Amino acid sequence: MRARPHAPLLQPVRLALALVLFWGAAPRADAAPGRTKRERPVAVVGNPAEPLPEIRVEAATPTWLLFPTEIAKSTLTVDGLSRTVDKVARPVDESRIRIVDVGERSIIVQAVEDLRPGERHELAVFFADGRAPARAAFVLVTDPAEVDARIDVERREPQNATCPEVPRDPPRPEDFVLLGYVSDDGVQTDTVAEASDADQGLSSRRGVSYRGKGWVLVDVNVENSAGQQPWTPREATLTGKRGGTLPARLVTVDGGKIAPGNQRRVLAVADPPPPAAGAVFALQIRGDGGRTLTIPRVRFQGPLTGVNQ
C-alpha cells in the first residue's frame, strides 16, 4: 500500500507563490513617488504692490522657515488671524494650516492636508527690530511636484536706504485731496480713552482715531513711567473684537525713544478693516525689552459713503 505524501512537501510551493506575490506587489507600492524636497532662499517683499512669494507646503512634510533676525512671535498670523503653536492639528474645517513650532528666528509650518489646486493661505509675521522691511509675508500653496523643506528668508535693504533724504515741503490741504486720502466720504473721528499698564510701566493719554479713504489712524501720546528703562515703540497691530488682525505702521514724533518720565506722540496707520471685523479694536504697541502697551478700545467710525457734507 502506497503511503500518502506528507503535507510539508507543499510548503516550498506555497513559499514560492508568496514570494511571487510579494515581489509583484512591491513595485506597485513604490509607483507613486513623493514630492521632491527643496531648500531655497526667499526674499521678503518690501513693496505692497509686489505679489507675495509662494512657499510650497504639504501634509507629509513640515516646512522650516529660518529668518535672518529675531521675529515678534506674538504677531504671527495666518490669513490675518493670530496664531500660536498647535499642540494638536486643528480640524480641517477650522484651519487648513498648522503651526508646529515658533522660535526666536524660525517658524515650522505644515498643511493639515494637501491644499487644493488654487487654494492659498497667507502667513505673516513682523521682525522684532522694526527695521524696514518690517513685515515678512508669504503665500502657502501645495505644488504637485515639489515641497519646500527649508526656506532661508532674506531681508534685503530698501534700494534707497543709503540715499540722503531730500527735504520735503510741508503738505498742503489740496495734496490730501489730489492724492486720494480725502474724498466726499469725509474723515470720521472718534475718541480713544486713556490706557495704563503699571506692570509694563507704560500708559497713554486720551487720543483720537481717524478713518479716511483707504486708511485708518490712531493718534495718542505714550508715556514711559519714571524709573523705567528708555523705551522705543517698534511695531503695532490692531486686533478686532470680532477677530482679525491689522498690521499697523508706526510713526513717532520728536524721535522714537521715550525717556523715563517722558512722553512722545505715536501714530499707528493701517488699511481700513473689513466690515466683518466690526468697528472696535485693541491697539497693541510693542517696543524695547519686550514691553508692550495695549489700548483696549479703539473705535473707527464707518465711512459716510454717498453722503455729501
What are the pLDDT digits (tens) for 89-137? Answer: 444 345 799 999 999 999 999 999 999 999 999 999 989 887 888 889 9
Q: Which residues contact 158 (CB under 8 A, 6 or more apart)?
A: 46, 132, 133
What distance in Å separates the CA atoms of residue 121 and residue 110, rounded to the nearest whole number?
12
Q: What is the pLDDT at residue 48?
A: 76
Amino acid at position 95, single letter: S
Q: What is the pLDDT at residue 166?
A: 57
DSSP character at residue 213: T
**CB contact at 8 A, 107 and 18:** no
The CATH fold assigned to 36-154 is Immunoglobulin-like (2.60.40)
Q: What is the pLDDT at residue 164?
A: 56
Say whether domain 183-299 belongs to CATH 2.60.40.1150.
Answer: yes
Helices (H), the chain: 11-29, 173-178
Block residue for cell numbers 513693496: 47
CATH 2.60.40.1150 domain residues, the chain: 183-299
Task: Kindly report each contact of residues 174-178 with a partner whose C-beta sits within 8 Å and lies 24 or more positions away, as own/partner.
Answer: none
What distance in Å separates the CA atoms of residue 250 and residue 262, rounded to the nearest whole number?
18
Please state the pTM of the whole predicted model.
0.47
- pLDDT above 70 covers a percentage of the chain that reads 77
Q: What is the pLDDT at residue 307?
A: 41
Q: What is the pLDDT at residue 30?
A: 38
Can you list the residues of the chain whose pLDDT is less than 70?
1-33, 82, 84-94, 158-169, 174-175, 178-179, 303-309
Q: What is the pLDDT at residue 16?
A: 44
User: CA–CA distance from 6 to each of 9, 13, 14, 166, 219 (Å)?
Assistant: 6, 14, 14, 102, 96
Q: What is the largest CA-CA distance in the chain?
A: 121
What distance in Å separates the CA atoms of residue 20 and residue 9, rounded to the nearest whole number?
19
Q: What is the pLDDT at residue 168?
A: 60
